[in-house]
Structure 1
Amino acid sequence: MFFKTKQTGDFTTNTQIIRLSIAALIIGAICAWIAVVLLKMIYFFTNLSFFHRFSFAYATPTHNSLHAWIIVPPILGALVIGIIARYGSEKIRGHGIPEAIEAMIINESKISPRVAFWKPISAAISIGTGGPFGAEGPIIMTGGSFGSLFSQLFKLSPVERRILLVAGAAGGMSATFAAPVSSVLFAIELLVFEFKPRSLVPIAIASSVADAIRMLILGPGPLFAMPILHHTSWNLLAVSFVIGLMGSLLAILLTRAIYGVEDFFRKLPIHWMWWPAIGAVFIGLGGWISPRSLGVGYDSISAMLNMKLTLYTLIGLLIVKTIIWVISLGSGTSGGILAPILIIGGSLGGVAGYVFHAQHPGVWVLLGMSATFSGVTRTPFTSIIFPLELTHNLGALLPLLVTSSISTGFSSWILPRSILTEKIVRRGLHLTREYKTDPLEMHDCKEICYIPNNTIHGDAYLTTITMNLLSHYDTKTWFTVLDDDGHPVGIVLACEILYRASITPQQKVLEIINDAPYVRNNDTAKVAMQQMLISHCDWVKVINKEDHQIEGFLTIQKLMDLRRKEYEEETERKRVFSIFQN
């Protein structure tokens, strides 16, 4: 432990937050450059694969002239990825976010340098050869890997390493999308598993620095400009509700489809290194039908938001992008999920806008993006702010709030796991995304400590009190042990006395009292629980912080009573007031 933590207060914060913030500033700056380099690598492989030129300039497979030969680049890229995964690092497979979460939970937030090296290379090859993925997942994983590697250079706890890992991930996402607030929210809602200043401040610093450097290199946002919504009507709010339901249903379909395809590939009698090449066949065929479905697709997102795509193009993009993304991701290749979700969800909103002759069709596209993103990732606040930062269309705030809330609620009700956590659960790790106040942190020890009414003198021999215990008390009864002056010095269970008496009957009661730890009367019940765990004792002394005299005792049963009360508040339902009273 570096510094003493303040145990009571709105937040538990110590001066270690300064060190973490300085480290996060460095991580955010470097992750911005990592994001830029990865984007340039994607452009390079796109130029090489579809236009046969050596260039790092922006390029998209949409306007290629390969015709039927468009099938070849995805297959070649997938073969290379399979080889890298087999002989480089298997951790490059997938979109990176579950792998980052798994590293935090299982491996104490330690990611190997091999993953940090091979993940961006494999992702650049995958996307640059036509993979229907976004760059953000690999950048998040790469940024997180750098944050983890940087943290391993210093003497830090696993939780502190996790904070810096997530700071790197947030920095990577911020630099990719020019969305610093959404990156922080995404980290808080999904990755860091807590909401505390010690994590929020460093993550926010990393995200801010990364976005600031991005602006210097690539220019300011928004990433996708669109017509601004100036007025929200009741009709649009109703549409937001419906699109929220539609997006959640699409999210459920996508999640089940991806893991269904993944299960199918596991049953194939060939090594997994060949699976991406099989999935790439479908990528190539899909690209032949709809070239817009290949690659990152940022140009398609911009075109949808500005309604530059026809109805049939949107339908084709929705169907083809969904199919090839599901199959390729299920095959275990390398790539991100966020941009494909935006394209698929935006296509859904765009098709609905065409069918129902929307007054603001671009907003329908935006709502479709938010609804599907929210349903897939279960990050409602990110799903509200993310579209706003991408477009700077602040007028869409209220419709996005409705859409995101409906989608998150409905998809969470129907499908217990998201696309980001299902893979982790399949590996035997149970995750919960719900955070609430611990009841043990809401009570001071002085509130709940007590002195048992039944007393025993400490100099009494065990053999002299055993018969009295057996005839008058339950074995689970607590006794207060008194010293010669009648002051309480500890407590002991009746069953402990009986057990010790059967072994050493001539022992005195005072000799069998555990050397129990103590807590101060203004400490929280959680501190008492921590002391019990550290000392392997089922009770603690509660002392006055001024004169250090014993005020009472706390047992494990008392702490469990707080948990029981919490459970009763969740489950017991009763009517408090009725208008029909006798």
Structure 2
Amino acid sequence: MIPDDRRPTAADGNGSPLPRHLGDFTLDGRVLVSLAWAVPIGALGATAAWALLRLIALITNAVFFQRLSTEMVSPGSAPHPWWLVLSAPVVGGLVIGVMARYGSEKIRGHGMPEAIEAILMRRSRVAPRIAVLKPTSAAISIGTGGPFGAEGPIIMTGGAVGSILAQHLHLSADERKALMVSGAAAGMAATFNAPLASVLLAVELLLFEWRPRSFLPVTCAVAVATVVRAPLLGADPLFPVDLGAARATPVVDLLCVGAGLVGGLLAVAVTALVYFSEDQFARLPVHWMWWPAIGGLIIGVGGLIEPRALGVGYDVIDELLTGHATLSLIVGILLVKSLMWGLSLGSGTSGGVLAPVFMIGAALGAVEGLVFPAVAPGFWAMVGLAAVVGGVMRSPLTGVVFSLELTHAWSVLVPLLIASASAYGLSALLLRRSVLTEKIARRGYHLSREYDVDPLEVLLADEVMAAAPAVLPPDAPLPASRDLLAATVPRRGADGSPRADAPLQRLYPVVDDGGRLHGAVPRQSLVAPGEARAVADVLIADPVVVHADDTLREIASRFARHGITAAPVVDRADPARLVGLVTVDHLLDGRLRDLAEEHDRERPLGPRSWRSRSGRRRDGYATLRT
């Protein structure tokens, strides 16, 4: 039974209750518990982000400048001996390989696939050692020159913090997921001072749902992390861009489509490069522990060609977005950084993807700015950044909002949206999966990032049920008649018309002459009655029932919970009055209607709309199939 406080109370203009399937999300006390725990998780996520950035700076200063300092500095900001540039990434790769071999293999990679895998395959459970090993390995990788970002590791680290705390509480897997993603998004927000983009990233990549029970804790943690970040890392945008009074013209907006398509092609290329590299490393006749060192050698060679491609490169991103980058730097970053990042990431080293993608995208936009009409310094670099992020991560909204929050150049929202959506569309057309999900698919898991309303959530029992099933009187003798055993359950097709493939009825409601439900009898009890002589001997007096206004999703959950495949449908106002029978086959009919809405084309207002080729639907509207 549905609790009284969950029943519909609103009424339409005629005073009738509104259909329950038109209800919106509901909250309960468990969300408040998650919200309460999201506060400390947000603070811990911000602290972890600050610690990781300081550890990266400490290692970078120690390795490349031979000093103890936690001031953020780029390895390529000053000249270094060739042997240091070449050997530092190799040594860093060796250390990471040892940590992965004898610590945890989960620290390999850029963090996002590992976080998604923990959510979907391990019920949001992360081992405590990951919270220490992942940021440490990432700091070593980036601090010794790795061309990676800190966001992937901090997402895994923040997620580990949330997961570890949640594992000490009496929570469901979904509640644990909400707290794990809260920690991941909090670390992201603190790293980039981009709260809205962090929430969008959580929704588009990690939560796999849109519900208050997860959205509210994530938002709370992100807000807390952003507040905590201010005294730790500052409250200013990471890459402030002043576009002045510049506004995009229709011609510029049209060119943003082209910029987005070019960005999508680059996104496809670098994604293919990452997994080409991973495939080649898998063919090496050496243990994977040594792969990060080989990847480090690739980084070192790239660093000799373009030193400023080493490390996170926030200073380079700033120059690109503000229009101060030289042509040699732009070309060097676009070519060398792309190759270094793609080839070394395939080695299984530790580091994130966002910062490199920011830099590569901004460099592409800067190149386009040499050809396209001038709008403002850094405008085309921002367009390229949003496009490549949208194409690589297949998260167009995150790409747009990230670009805006990083720069605070809110006046270029529309051009960024156009470019990001164009890149996303092309990437989705050419690639089955993104750089974030391909690794999961290669491990044998199926992952879908497409969100849709469950068709079982929008159909009610009385829209698919058999309204006149075969019934038994309570005082009937056994065995049952042949006609009764041959009774079938009517089904409806996608257009609401009766189907010919009606299955045998598997459950027989027991009803008296007044239509009152006394129980139910399974078909098997009629086929093989044993010692039973009357219906009363095989009667299930308290069967699982559903209501006519229950959604098919509620019914499917009830079937799964009780291990049944059919149930009598009763009137909610009068639970003893039988109104029909619903079966698993009817649930499939509901799914069939969803497939019809996706694939069957119609012309309701066309020249032949007065005549239906496939019959009249149950609601009285004609449907034309093409």
TM-score, reference length from structure 2 = 0.87
Equivalent residue in structure 2 for 1:569, among 583, 597, 607: 597
SS at match of 2:479: helix
Unaligned runs of 5+ in 1: none
Equivalent residue in structure 1 for 2:264, among 243, 248, 261: 248
Q: Given that residues 82 and 304 in structure 2 are in contact (C-alpha distance below 8 angstroms), is that contact kept between their aligned partners in structure 1?
A: yes
Q: Given that residues 514 and 537 in structure 1 are in contact (C-alpha distance below 8 angstroms), is that contact kept between their aligned partners in structure 2?
A: no
Q: Structure 2 vs 1, CA of residues 182 and 579 (structure 1 numbering), >3 Å: closer, same or farther?
A: same
Equivalent residue in structure 2 for 1:219, among 234, 239, 257: 234
- Paired residues, number: 578
Cα distance in 2, alignment partners of residues 453 and 89 from structure 1: 59
Work out whether 1:133 is the aligned partner of 2:148. Answer: yes
Cα distance in 1, alignment partners of residues 414 and 437 from structure 2: 28
TM-score, reference length from structure 1 = 0.94
Q: Which runs of 4+ in 1 moved over 6 A?
A: 471-475, 579-582
Deviation at 1:543, TM superposition (A): 3.7
Work out whether 1:476 is the aligned partner of 2:504. Answer: yes
Work out whether 1:550 is the aligned partner of 2:565. Answer: no
Work out whether 1:516 is the aligned partner of 2:543. Answer: yes
Alpha-carbon displacement from aligned partner over 1:438-465 (angstroms, at most 9, x marks no partner): 1222234455545424333233333251
Cα distance in 2, alignment partners of residues 381 and 77 from structure 1: 35
Cα distance in 1, alignment partners of residues 484 and 183 from structure 2: 65
Work out whether 1:177 is the aligned partner of 2:204. Answer: no
Cα distance in 1, alignment partners of residues 357 and 398 from structure 2: 14
Q: Given that residues 458 and 510 in structure 1 are in contact (C-alpha distance below 8 angstroms), is that contact kept between their aligned partners in structure 2?
A: no
1:460-475 pair list within 5 angstroms: 460-466=476-482, 469=485
Deviation at 1:574, TM superposition (A): 2.6
Cα distance in 1, alignment partners of residues 542 and 350 from structure 2: 55
One-letter code of the match for 1:66? H
Q: Given that residues 34 and 175 in structure 2 are in contact (C-alpha distance below 8 angstroms), is that contact kept between their aligned partners in structure 1?
A: yes
Structure having the larger proportion of residues in helix: 1
Q: Which residue of 1 aligns with 2:562?
A: 535
1:387-536 pair list within 5 angstroms: 387-466=403-482, 469=485, 476-477=504-505, 479-483=508-512, 486-490=515-519, 496=524, 499-501=527-529, 506=533, 508=535, 511=538, 513=540, 516-536=543-563
Q: Which residue of 1 aligns with 2:118?
A: 103
Equivalent residue in structure 2 for 1:11, among 25, 32, 44: 25
Q: Given that residues 4 and 14 in structure 1 are in contact (C-alpha distance below 8 angstroms), is that contact kept between their aligned partners in structure 2?
A: no
Q: Which residue of 2 aligns with 1:320?
A: 336
1:115-194 pair list within 5 angstroms: 115-194=130-209
Equivalent residue in structure 1 for 2:36, among 18, 22, 25: 22
Q: State the Cα RMSD in Å.
A: 2.4
Q: Given that residues 466 and 498 in structure 1 are in contact (C-alpha distance below 8 angstroms), is that contact kept between their aligned partners in structure 2?
A: no
Deviation at 1:497, TM superposition (A): 5.7
Equivalent residue in structure 2 for 1:281, among 281, 291, 297: 297
Q: Given that residues 95 and 337 in structure 1 are in contact (C-alpha distance below 8 angstroms), is that contact kept between their aligned partners in structure 2?
A: yes
Cα distance in 1, alignment partners of residues 53 and 40 from structure 2: 20
One-letter code of the match for 2:517? P
Q: Structure 2 vs 1, CA of residues 317 and 475 (structure 1 numbering), >3 Å: closer, same or farther?
A: closer
Deviation at 1:187, TM superposition (A): 0.1
Cα distance in 2, alignment partners of residues 533 and 468 from structure 1: 27
Deviation at 1:184, TM superposition (A): 0.2
Work out whether 1:39 is the aligned partner of 2:68. Answer: no
Cα distance in 2, alignment partners of residues 471 and 338 from structure 1: 61
Q: Structure 2 vs 1, CA of residues 522 and 476 (structure 1 numbering), >3 Å: closer, same or farther?
A: closer
Work out whether 1:208 is the aligned partner of 2:223. Answer: yes
Q: Given that residues 96 and 336 in structure 1 are in contact (C-alpha distance below 8 angstroms), is that contact kept between their aligned partners in structure 2?
A: yes
Cα distance in 2, alignment partners of residues 451 and 384 from structure 1: 51
Q: Which residue of 1 aligns with 2:71?
A: 57
Alpha-carbon displacement from aligned partner over 1:43-70 (angstroms, at most 9, x marks no partner): 0000011101111112111223213121
Q: Given that residues 462 and 509 in structure 1 are in contact (C-alpha distance below 8 angstroms), is that contact kept between their aligned partners in structure 2?
A: no
Equivalent residue in structure 1 for 2:81, among 67, 76, 87: 67
Cα distance in 2, alignment partners of residues 56 and 50 from structure 1: 13
Q: Given that residues 480 and 526 in structure 2 are in contact (C-alpha distance below 8 angstroms), is that contact kept between their aligned partners in structure 1?
A: no
SS at match of 2:472: strand
Q: Which moved more, 1:464-473 or 1:128-137?
A: 464-473
One-letter code of the match for 1:74? P
Q: Given that residues 461 and 505 in structure 1 are in contact (C-alpha distance below 8 angstroms), is that contact kept between their aligned partners in structure 2?
A: no
One-letter code of the match for 1:231? R
Q: Given that residues 475 and 534 in structure 2 are in contact (C-alpha distance below 8 angstroms), is that contact kept between their aligned partners in structure 1?
A: no
Cα distance in 1, alignment partners of residues 512 and 219 from structure 2: 55
Equivalent residue in structure 1 for 2:103, among 88, 91, 100: 88
One-letter code of the match for 2:27? T
Identity of aligned residues (%): 43
Alpha-carbon displacement from aligned partner over 1:416-474 (angstroms, at most 9, x marks no partner): 10111111111111111111111222234455545424333233333251376459998
Cα distance in 2, alignment partners of residues 90 and 121 from structure 1: 14
Alpha-carbon displacement from aligned partner over 1:478-523 (angstroms, at most 9, x marks no partner): 6543247553345567x6466324x557453761558531234443
Q: Structure 2 vs 1, CA of residues 451 and 471 (structure 1 numbering), >3 Å: closer, same or farther?
A: closer
